[in-house]
């Protein structure tokens, strides 16, 4: 976790308070119907949650082969033992 200095924490708190003040002023300046529609849209977006991350590659594309020298090691056969009993 990152530690922040006391002055930085105070600055962030002041910034957050200023943002909240600006949002309250904006909500007071627009007609109530518009503010209600906006609030409903915001709530709908929050209820949806974050978007699902799309896959890294388009469907049907083949992955790139590994670079030379980076191939995975073959599976070791344990069927033969060097020991004799």
Q: Where are the domains of the chain?
A: 6-48
Q: Is the pTM of this model over 0.85?
A: no
Residue 67 has pLDDT above 70, yes or no: yes
Give pLDDT tens digits for 47-64: 999 998 877 777 787 777
Residue 2 has pLDDT above 90, yes or no: no
What gap in Å lies between CA 45 and CA 79, rounded to an integer?
58
pLDDT of 47 reads 96
Average of per-residue pLDDT across 61-72:
79
Give pLDDT tens digits for 13-45: 999 999 999 999 988 999 999 989 999 999 999
Residue 80 has pLDDT above 70, yes or no: no
63 and 57 Cβ atoms separated by less than 8 Å: yes
């Amino acid at each position: 976790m990152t530690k922040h200095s006391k002055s930085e924490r105070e600055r962030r708190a002041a910034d957050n308070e200023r943002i909240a003040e600006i949002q309250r002023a904006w909500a007071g300046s627009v007609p109530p119907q518009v503010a209600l529609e906006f609030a409903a849209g915001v709530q709908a977006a929050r209820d949806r949650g974050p978007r699902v991350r799309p896959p890294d590659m388009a469907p049907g594309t083949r992955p790139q082969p590994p670079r030379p020298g980076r191939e995975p090691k073959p599976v070791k056969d344990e069927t033969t033992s060097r020991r004799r009993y």
